[in-house]
Structures are given as structure tokens and as C-alpha cells.
Structure 1
Amino acid sequence: MIQSPSGQRVDRSDLGALYQNVMTLQNQGKTTVIGTESIANQAVIYLIVDGEFGSSVSGVSQFQLWLDVTTGFPLKVISYKADGSLIELVEMSDYQINPMFPADFFDQ
């Protein structure tokens, strides 16, 4: 459904799990919109999702996300443990979304 120029693919399980984990952590904490920025010449909205003290989802207590303002696709995601240590940093740019990709794909 989504592919980078180098051929890396992202499927429902990757993004679906991320979206579900972010929404679960949002329900256990708060979301702060930092503002708009640019990544790889694409406008993004930067936000931070923090779980309340002691809350985590799959070991993640904070997500920092940079979402494409048009598609909502995450161009950059950083996840942290409760102690503030980095779990993972994922960046994706120059991706192409299949035009047949349904907008509500991850809501199903």
C-alpha cells in the first residue's frame, strides 16, 4: 500500500499497530500539539503523546510524532520508555501512497 523509492513497504500491521498504540496512550494521558514544521519539504504537524505517570503501551510512555498535514501519515516517530530512554526512532520520506488506498483503511 505504501512504498519508499528504495522499495521499503509499510503495511496495515505496521501503521495500524502504531495508530492503535498512540490512541491507547492518548486515552491514558495527554496530547500536546507543538506546531507545524517541515520534513523533507513536506509540511508536518508535530505532536507529543504522553501517558500519565506509570502508563505505557507496549513499553512506550511517550510518542513524538510528525504527521503529514495532508495525509496524516507519520514521517517521523520517536518512542520513549517511562524513564525517558529512547526505544526507537523511525523516519520515512519520499513515500508514495497507492492512489487506491482507502482513506479509512486503519479505522476498520
Structure 2
Amino acid sequence: MGSGPTAVEIISHLNSSWQKVRGYQTETEVAEYRNGKLQITKSFLYSFRKPRDFRIDMHHPHRGTSLICCDAEGKILVRPGGIGAVFKKRLSPDNRLLADPSGQRIDQTDLGLLIRNIGHSLTDQRRGDMKVTDEGGRLVVESVASDHFLPGVLTRYRFVIEKGTWLPAQVVELTPEGVLKRVVTFGTVNLLSDFPPGFFISDREDRGGGGR
């Protein structure tokens, strides 16, 4: 284990910071790899309000598309951009149209869940030693642990944490051998207490959308 705070101290800092968050927005980029080669990069504005409301406004691909979760059934409103907006629908989070190769469901994307997963990756689900590197304003924590979303799979994680806010800034996922699988990068996390009325709640005319 490298020098720096212990797993318990890191988890305590992360949890303490998350408890103070009511809502946030961050520009997010997800780079997906296959056999170490970049396949696709997704970018979007991610908005979240406790306890479970979130909204994803896509930049690339499918620019203009919004995915909004907030109804009592946990359904996701998918609202395409441009003229495609008339084809909006509501889908369950596990719908194959929302599936991701990482196994991560769309309703498993907020920083609170990531912080809980980091806790497991540094403690009960960790395999081997943990490495901690202080890079000035950031802390880089590496460990091999059970994959957050794929049962029976081990993943080498590199968690980059902003020391100023004690919130995650990046997650790098590799195979145990070091082959790159995915990189999730969070831009500046803007903490928000309030969002515009109707930002998460679907308009009345959206409530009739179909899909399962």
C-alpha cells in the first residue's frame, strides 16, 4: 500500500462530502474500450437531485436527446431531440434499449452510488493491496476488486478524487492485467440546491408515453 490516507479515511471523507450534497450537475464523458481500443465516446450533462431524480442531456451521440427519471414507477422518459421529440417514450431502467456493455444500468449512475461502490472496492470486495498516490489537488486510489456491475468479474479500478471537494473526478476501469475497459470523467461538479420547476418532472403531455 502506498503512502497516504487509509481506506477507512478515504471512505469517511467521501461519505461526509456526499451527505452535504442536495443536488449537482456535471459535464460527463464516458470512453468505452474493447481489447484496449477506443470504441465510442459519449458526452452529456448529468443532473441529479436527491434522493433519486436524474436527467441526462446528451451532447454526443444523439445530441439533444434527454433521459429523465423521476416518476413513481422509476420509469425513464426518453425524449429525442429535434423533430424526433414526438417519439418520446417511457422505459424501464433494465430495458435493452438502455443497456450498457459495462453492465451499469442508467439508474445506477449517480455519485452517491459510485461512492458506495468505491467503499466496497477499497474494503470487503478488494483483492490484494491498495495503492494511494497524492497528485497535489487530487488523490488517485487503485485497487483490484469485484466489478461494480458484472457479477463474477474482477476489475482494476483507478479512482481519481478531488481533494478540494472530496468527490470523485474520474473512474478508470481496466482488466486485472491492465487492459483498458472504460474511463468515466466528471467535469466540475456544480452543487445545486434547486432546479427549475419541471426540470425533472415530466410535463403532463409526456405522461402518456409508452414502452416497457
- Structures share fold, TM-score greater than 0.5: yes
Instruction: Please state whether the residue corresponding to 2:165 is helix, strand or coil.
Output: coil
Kept after mapping to 2: 8 A contact 1:60/1:80: no
**CA distance change for structure 1 residues 61 and 81 in 2, over 3 Å: closer, same or farther?**
same
* TM-score, normalised by the number of residues in structure 1: 0.64
Question: 1:63 aligned to 157, 162, 172, which one?
Answer: 157
- Counterparts of 1:28 and 1:4, CA distance in 2: 28
Task: Check if 1:8 corresponds to 2:45.
Answer: yes
Q: Which runs of at least 4 in structure 1 moved beyond 4 Å after TM superposition?
A: none
C-alpha RMSD of matched pairs (Å): 2.8
**CA distance change for structure 1 residues 4 and 32 in 2, over 3 Å: closer, same or farther?**
same
Whose radius of gyration is greater, 1 or 2? 2
Counterpart mapping for 1:1-40 below 5 A = 1-4=23-26, 8-11=45-48, 13-14=108-109, 15-26=111-122, 27-29=124-126, 30-37=129-136
Identity %, equivalent residues = 16
Give the length in aligned residue pairs. Answer: 92
Counterpart mapping for 1:52-91 below 5 A = 55-57=146-148, 58=150, 59-91=153-185
Task: Check if 1:46 corresponds to 2:140.
Answer: yes
Aligned residue in 1 for 2:197: none
Structure 2 unaligned residues grouped into runs of 5+:
1-22, 29-43, 53-107, 195-212
- Counterparts of 1:4 and 1:84, CA distance in 2: 28
